[in-house]
Amino acid sequence: RFHQIKDKEITKEQHLGRGTRTNIYAGWLKIHGSLEDDDNESNNNLCNKKGIRVVLKILDQSHKDIALAFFETASLMSQVSHCHLVFVHGVSVKGSENIMVEEFVEFGPLDVFLHREKGHVTPQWKFTVAKQLASALCYLETKRLVHGNVCGKNILVVRNGLEEGSSPFVKLSDPGISLSALSRGERVERIPWIAPECIADGARIGSAADQWSFGATLLEICNNGDLPISGSTLPEKERFYETQSRLAVPSSQELASFISMCLTYDPAGRPSFRTILRELTEIQIKNPDISSECESLPD
């Protein structure tokens, strides 16, 4: 259900960071054909003689269930195709090492990007990114697929859109190991992005889970990569959901009520991505200067 990549086709380079039970490296995937024996240096930083630039997600040594969940994600990502979903080339199994080979995205994760560039991104920029994310999730919704790990860290910036007249382009990354295979602690750690109904053991996870996560991510985007509660302790996080607390929303009435709808504790009360996409467009048209509102979050 996914492409098997041979060990000798990949080259591992610098370590980029750690994920949920993974280590991520930059690397290259050899491609067959003309580029390999091309003498004149076609020096493109994403594609050259070494192959195509990729990230290698190496799964920690783990129990069979975790490896299976990891393969399932690779398989899910191989079955979908959307311009705002990251491309998964396949999986390489090298001895006991399981490696997901994924498209390398130049400007990295959105949360880090926003922290760094907060002075330069406009409200329009944020809206464009939100709509691209919603379009990817709308696509998954129509296929009745759930992502399960939507957050700023898992949105990758392909084009920064910071120059005059250009616009950003983002892709939603793979969700990694599915929620049901993670420990309760790992799920609690994901508060406030993870939907409340996903905390319990053996929870059934539906599309509405992504709708909550989208709301939290939109808030994170409005707030330049910061999200209240995300840095709290696990007991504080648990308490936050147990008491059905609400995250602070932007002062713009329309945007606030829209985000609040996504962040409804009852999964059935959240809007579908079709609705989300329509509402986002409407809010954007009605508030060409949504900016100031989007940036002034109450504390």
Q: Of residues 27, 51, 90, 109, which one binds ligand ATP by CB under 6 A?
A: 109
Q: Of residues 2, 5, 10, 22, which one binds ligand ATP by CB under 6 A?
A: 22
Q: Which of residues 192-231 bind ligand ATP (CB under 6 A)?
A: none
Q: Which is nearer to ligand ATP, 107 or 241 (CB)?
A: 107
Is residue 13 a contact residue for ligand ATP (CB under 6 A)? no
CB atoms closer than 10 angstroms to residue 199: 18
Q: Rounded CA gap, 99 and 160, in Å?
A: 28
Q: Of residues 173, 211, 284, 287, which one binds ligand ATP by CB under 6 A?
A: 173
CA distances from 35 to 10, 32, 103, 186 (A): 15, 8, 18, 43
User: Beta 155-159 vs 22-29: how paired, if at all?
Assistant: unpaired
Query: Residue 106 is encoded by which pair of tokens?
Result: 């130049």
∠ CA 1-87-48, nearest 5°, is: 115
- Catalog residues that contact Mg ion under the rule CB under 5 A: 154, 173
Query: Residue 213 is encoded by which pair of tokens?
Result: 């996560």
Is residue 102 a contact residue for ligand ATP (CB under 6 A)? yes
Provide CB contacts within 8 A for 243, sequence distance 6+: none
Radius of gyration of the chain (CA): 20
Q: Which of residues 224-283 bind ligand ATP (CB under 6 A)?
A: none
Count Cβ atoms within 10 A of the Cβ of residue 47 and give its class: 0-12 exposed, 13-18 middle, 19 or more buried. middle
Q: Which is nearer to ligand ATP, 50 or 278 (CB)?
A: 50
Q: Which is nearer to Mg ion, 154 or 160 (CB)?
A: 154
Is residue 105 a contact residue for ligand ATP (CB under 6 A)? yes
- # residues near ligand ATP by CB under 6 A: 21
DSSP category for residue 60: P
Q: Of residues 9, 50, 72, 108, which one binds ligand ATP by CB under 6 A?
A: 108
Residue type, 9: E
At its nearest, how many Å lie between ligand ATP and the CB of residue 109? Answer: 5
Q: Which is nearer to ligand ATP, 23 or 260 (CB)?
A: 23
Q: Which is nearer to ligand ATP, 112 or 261 (CB)?
A: 112
Q: Which is nearer to ligand ATP, 16 or 162 (CB)?
A: 16
Inter-helix orientation angle 253-262/207-222, to 10°? 150
Can you give the binding site for ligand ATP, defined by CB under 6 A?
16-17, 19-20, 22, 24, 55, 57, 86, 102-105, 108-109, 149, 153-154, 156, 173, 176
